[in-house]
Amino acid sequence: MTEERLFSIADADAELEELRVRLPRLREARQRLIETSERITSAVEIDGGGIEGSDWFRAQETLKRDLLWLADRSILLRDADTGLVDFPAERDGERVFLCWRLGEKRVGWYHSERSGFSSRKPL
C-alpha cells in the first residue's frame, strides 16, 4: 500500500498555478460531456452519434487526463463546478484537509476529516 501524501501549506500553494489552468478545463469538459450526452441520445437513433460522439470522446479524454493528474498528486476534487479541492494534511497531530476554491489567492482554510466546506476555518 502506498503512503498517502500529506501537504504542507507551501506544498498546496505550489499546486495552485496548475490548478488554475486545469480546474476550469475540467469543469468545461464535464459540462461538454453532459451536453453532448443529451445530444448523442437523439443522434444515435439517426446516425450512430456522428460528430456529437466525437465531441463526447474529446471531452471524456480531457476530463480523464485532468482527474488522473489530480489523483496522481493526491489532490481531492470536491466540486468540479466551483473548483473546490482538498489537500490531505496534518494540523496539531490531527488529520485535516487544506481547503481551496478556484478564485482564492492562496490556500487559507482547512477543515477536519469529518467535516466539509461549510465547517472550514482560517489557517
For 3, the grid coordinates are: 503512503
Residue 4, domain member (yes or no) = no
Tens digit of each residue's pLDDT (9 = 90 or more) over 5-34: 999 999 999 999 999 999 999 999 999 888
Tell which wins on pLDDT, 45 or 21: 21
Residue 43, domain member (yes or no) = yes
Residue 62, domain member (yes or no) = yes
Share of the chain above pLDDT 70, in %: 85
Residue 33, domain member (yes or no) = yes
Look at the pTM and tell me if it is higher than 0.85. no
Q: Please report, as a single letter, which amino acid is at residue 13.
A: D
- The 121-122 sheet, strands edge to edge: 76-79, 84-91, 94-101, 109-112, 121-122
pLDDT at 1: 45
Tell which wins on pLDDT, 98 or 3: 98
Domain span holding position 112: 9-122
Residue 106, domain member (yes or no) = yes
For the chain, give the mean pLDDT: 88
Count how many domains the chain has: 1
Residue 29, domain member (yes or no) = yes
| pLDDT tier for residue 41 given thresholds of 50, 70 and 90 | low
110: nearest Cα among 94, 71, 4, 5: 94
* pLDDT over threshold 90, residue 3: no
Residue 3, domain member (yes or no) = no
Residue 1, domain member (yes or no) = no
